[in-house]
Chain A
Amino acid sequence: MSQETHGPVDSVTGVTTTGHSWDEIQELNNPLPRWWLWTFYASIIWAAAYCVAYPAWPLVSSYTKGVLSWHSREAIETDLADLKSLRAGMTAKLAETPLEQVGQDAELFTFARAQGKAAFGDNCAPCHGAGGAGAKGYPNLNDDDWLWGGNLAQIEQTIRHGARSTSDQGHQGSMPAFGREGMLKRQEISQVADFVRSLSGLPVDQGADLAAGAKIFADNCAACHGDKGQGNQDLGAPNLSDQIWLFGSSKTAIMEGLHNGRGGVMPAWQGRLDDTTIKALTLYVHSLGGGRAE
């Protein structure tokens, strides 16, 4: 043992060696540097103190809580509360400013749109896309075509109560399944589809009987979509004479809609989002580009 720890004295340095030798290279038995040793002791003390102060050891069904009773969840909650209080002034201002007047205060408007953008990303983007571009069956919120109206109040109503949602204040009305229910025959569906395409200037099949289509339209569709197919926002009936087609403008897509009916669902957000967030969302969606003044 002593041979191991106190080997022969090294002639160059005058220090004893440990007796270990690797290819005749020997290890000097120098003590650890003092600063290093103290740092090491300090680390041990620190570790022990840490275990006492903070949650550290797993137990069978729980863990040691530590005397400071620090909790990561609480830390997050404090951070969130701090953030809320930081924004409190603007949030309160937004809450009490009527929807139509927010746009007059540039700073408040910017704040509302930023908050609305965040809420949109969390709640609306799954259907309408991150930038509100929509997809087949999910309206593009950047264009100027609105199923249920595009002024601030209408947008707010739609967000609050949804369409064909569980809310009894939500928008109702759907496109009947003319084919499946046997109200129109296949040939009639084809004729009215051609007519509808002609309404927005799309090319129709050769030899299509537009007069017959117009007749069927007047009898079955005009009640909701209007005489000229201009649509009706009270019923959520799309404008059929413009260039925007929620479910596609091909004849097949139109015939499919006529046969099976259509009725996209927008959930009601009241109760899930607070009033100020809905307000911010409304302003954001309205500012995407298609919002109407009236």
Chain B
Amino acid sequence: MADSPLAGHLPSKTVDEADEQPLYVSRKKIYPQAVKGRFRTIKWAVLFVALGIYYFLPFVRWDRGPHAPNQAILVDLANSRFYFFFIEIWPQEVYYITGLLILAALVLFLMNAVAGRIWCGYLCPQTVWTDLFYAVERLIEGDRRERTRRTKEKATLEIFTLKLLKHSIWLLIAWWTGGAWVLYFADAPTLVGQLLTFQAPPIAYIWIGILTFTTYTLAGFMREQVCTYMCPWPRIQAALTDEYALNVTYRYDRGEPRGSMKKNDALKKQGAPAGDCIDCNQCVAVCPTGIDIRDGLQLDCIQCGLCIDACNTVMAKIGRPENLIAYDTEMNVQARIEGRPEVRRVVRPRTLLYAGLIALVGAIMVAALATRHTTDLSVMHDRNPVFVRLSDGAIRNGFTIRVSNKNLEERRYALGVDGLQDARLDIVGGQLDPQGRPMVVVGPDQTLEARVLVTAGDAKHPSSTALRFTLTDIASGETAYANDHFMAP
């Protein structure tokens, strides 16, 4: 061990030791300390942008004309439509949602390949809301020191008042979180009015209740336990990451052996190795999951970078260079110890693959959206009877057609059929267009179902002839096709 290049650099507690915790421990309450710095600022910015979007997006309007809602993002369950700015999705097009989910997963993988659990530290809703709740707590009950002290004090009226205030504000945030959620499912301004006058549908109150409860408990009480015990991502992530992914890393090559400033100064004077870490525990104090990053990369670390900010403040104070803790890789720590050059590779097969897949899925979705039809035709052959013989010996087949008009104005379509020479087409209850073709009129953003009869003379027909139905928008000429068969004895 003595001649290992690691001698004198190893963290005080090895990862193995850290693993030897009892399997069952009751929760240690964590009082993370406030911190200032680059990553904290980024986190604030992300928090404001993300919550701003979440809380106010339902109020953004988007004019779609007289027949459709003018809410930019709306999940219209009653009419099974999903509106997203200029996109309107029908139930049979939910594969767009599938595409979006695939994209989201790939982006998460890419983020992971580049910088580990960066999603967890900055963007995950659990992190964002917990951060907000911590901020409220600090504002009212004070920072780490005051809160730790208070837990030891006897309950006084003052403490009780502060707690009451904190929980009220928490509940208010939680309630508004649930409130914002339901606004995505109905016209937001109307629903707000209904909610205030208690006229909203019960389901709205139920959902607000559910989300108030989950926000309040998850962000107020469960906090980091969600990340360490409940969330599957740390486990999956651990299997997906590799040695090039950047992680919040304590550079023990530079920090160890750690010791108080005095002790390390003395060591330095003797010419003995001394690290930059002054064992001030600031990095532990600020950590929202209550861990010591100097124990190495661990499952509980959500990569929020707050310990980097804390340590950088300390380094500035003692006049040492920044980034004793930094986004780095264990591999580079080793490399520096062994005198090899550092490796930083963002472009690697893994990231290229993810990026490529993202581009591919994105391109497919854009292409699908761009070539999206605004008319849909589907045809279903009658099964009982498959065909009918008429009194003059002619053969007739019945079909049910379904025409979807995805445009926001009423459209008239002429229906035709090819494939059978003497075929005659009738739409039950239908009309004729000026040229005498059978016609259907479909309202804006609606689907029409109609019964269609195809009759052919009594000439001998093969038992099955391919048919092609053609639906043409009389005004624009847009055409939709559907294939089926004409059956005969």
* Given the contacts A109-B429, A287-B429, A289-B453, A144 and B384 also touching, CB distance less than 8 Å: no
In the complex the two chains form, is A289's CB within 8 Å of B428's CB? yes
Residues of A within 8 A of B389 (CB): 143, 243-244
Residues of B within 8 A of A49 (CB): none
Instruction: Write the chain A residue with the least CB distance to B431.
Output: A106
* Given the contacts A131-B382, A142-B398, A289 and B388 also touching, CB distance less than 8 Å: yes
In the complex the two chains form, is B392's CB within 8 Å of A243's CB? yes
Instruction: Write the chain A residue with the least CB distance to B428.
Output: A287
Asked if B238 lies at the interface with its beta carbon under 8 angstroms from chain A, I say: no
Residues of A within 8 A of B383 (CB): 131
Contact residues, B423-461 vs A (CB, 8 A): 428-429, 441, 449, 451, 453, 458
A133 to B383, CA, bound (A): 10
Asked if B396 lies at the interface with its beta carbon under 8 angstroms from chain A, I say: yes
In the complex the two chains form, is B451's CB within 8 Å of A287's CB? yes
In the complex the two chains form, is B388's CB within 8 Å of A243's CB? no
Asked if B232 lies at the interface with its beta carbon under 8 angstroms from chain A, I say: no
Asked if A242 lies at the interface with its beta carbon under 8 angstroms from chain B, I say: yes
Among B22, B388, B449, B458, contact of A143 (Cβ-Cβ < 8 Å): B388
A113 to B451, CA, bound (A): 10
* 1/0 contact string of B152-181 vs chain A (CB within 8 Å): 000000000000000000000000000000
In the complex the two chains form, is A140's CB within 8 Å of B388's CB? yes
Residues of A within 8 A of B429 (CB): 103, 106, 109-110, 113, 287
A288 to B383, CA, bound (A): 13
A288 to B429, CA, bound (A): 11
* Given the contacts A131-B382, A287-B429, A110 and B449 also touching, CB distance less than 8 Å: yes
* 1/0 contact string of A90-114 vs chain B (CB within 8 Å): 0000000000000100100110010
A12 to chain B, nearest CB (A): 9
A256 to chain B, nearest CB (A): 21
Residues of B within 8 A of A145 (CB): 390-391
A13 to B393, CA, bound (A): 92
Asked if A88 lies at the interface with its beta carbon under 8 angstroms from chain B, I say: no
A287 to B396, CA, bound (A): 14
Instruction: Write the chain B residue with the least CB distance to A289.
Output: B453
Asked if B52 lies at the interface with its beta carbon under 8 angstroms from chain A, I say: no
In the complex the two chains form, is B384's CB within 8 Å of A243's CB? no
Asked if B477 lies at the interface with its beta carbon under 8 angstroms from chain A, I say: no
* 1/0 contact string of B127-149 vs chain A (CB within 8 Å): 00000000000000000000000
Asked if A130 lies at the interface with its beta carbon under 8 angstroms from chain B, I say: yes
Asked if B385 lies at the interface with its beta carbon under 8 angstroms from chain A, I say: yes
In the complex the two chains form, is B385's CB within 8 Å of A131's CB? yes
A129 to B428, CA, bound (A): 20
* 1/0 contact string of A139-150 vs chain B (CB within 8 Å): 010111100000
B68 to chain A, nearest CB (A): 20
Residues of B within 8 A of A109 (CB): 429
Instruction: Write the chain A residue with the least CB distance to B383.
Output: A131
Interface size class of B (residues with CB under 8 A): 20 to 34
Residues of A within 8 A of B398 (CB): 142, 288-289
In the complex the two chains form, is B384's CB within 8 Å of A131's CB? yes
Residues of B within 8 A of A143 (CB): 388-391, 396
In the complex the two chains form, is A239's CB within 8 Å of B391's CB? yes
B386 to chain A, nearest CB (A): 8
B22 to chain A, nearest CB (A): 7
Contact residues, B271-329 vs A (CB, 8 A): none
Residues of A within 8 A of B428 (CB): 287, 289
* 1/0 contact string of A142-168 vs chain B (CB within 8 Å): 111100000000000000000000000
Residues of B within 8 A of A288 (CB): 398
* Given the contacts A109-B429, A131-B383, A133-B384, A243 and B453 also touching, CB distance less than 8 Å: no
A215 to B474, CA, bound (A): 59
B405 to chain A, nearest CB (A): 14
In the complex the two chains form, is A142's CB within 8 Å of B385's CB? yes
In the complex the two chains form, is A129's CB within 8 Å of B391's CB? no
Residues of B within 8 A of A243 (CB): 389-393, 458
Residues of A within 8 A of B385 (CB): 129, 131-133, 140, 142
Contact residues, A242-294 vs B (CB, 8 A): 242-244, 287-290
A130 to B428, CA, bound (A): 19
B2 to chain A, nearest CB (A): 33
Residues of A within 8 A of B390 (CB): 143-145, 243-244, 290
Contact residues, B327-344 vs A (CB, 8 A): none
Contact residues, A43-80 vs B (CB, 8 A): none
Instruction: Write the chain A residue with the least CB distance to B389.
Output: A243
Residues of B within 8 A of A130 (CB): 384
Query: Which residue, of A130, A288, A289, has the highest number of chain B Cβ atoms within 10 A?
Result: A289
A33 to chain B, nearest CB (A): 10
B430 to chain A, nearest CB (A): 9
A282 to chain B, nearest CB (A): 14
A244 to B391, CA, bound (A): 6
In the complex the two chains form, is B391's CB within 8 Å of A142's CB? no
A154 to B398, CA, bound (A): 23
A17 to B158, CA, bound (A): 45
In the complex the two chains form, is B396's CB within 8 Å of A142's CB? yes
A237 to chain B, nearest CB (A): 14
24 cross-chain CB contacts under 8 A? A13-B22, A106-B441, A110-B429, A110-B449, A113-B451, A131-B382, A131-B383, A142-B385, A142-B388, A142-B398, A143-B391, A239-B391, A242-B392, A243-B389, A243-B391, A243-B393, A243-B458, A244-B391, A287-B429, A289-B388, A289-B396, A289-B451, A289-B453, A290-B390
Beyond contacts A131-B383, A143-B388, A243-B458: 5 other A-B pairs, Cβ-Cβ < 8 A, are A113-B451, A132-B384, A143-B396, A144-B391, A243-B390
Interface residues of A (CB under 8 A from B): 13, 103, 106, 109-110, 113, 129-133, 140, 142-145, 239, 242-244, 287-290
Interface residues of B (CB under 8 A from A): 22, 382-385, 388-393, 396, 398, 428-429, 441, 449, 451, 453, 458
Return the 7 tightest CB-CB contacts between A and B, nearest first. A131-B384, A133-B385, A242-B391, A243-B393, A142-B388, A145-B391, A287-B428
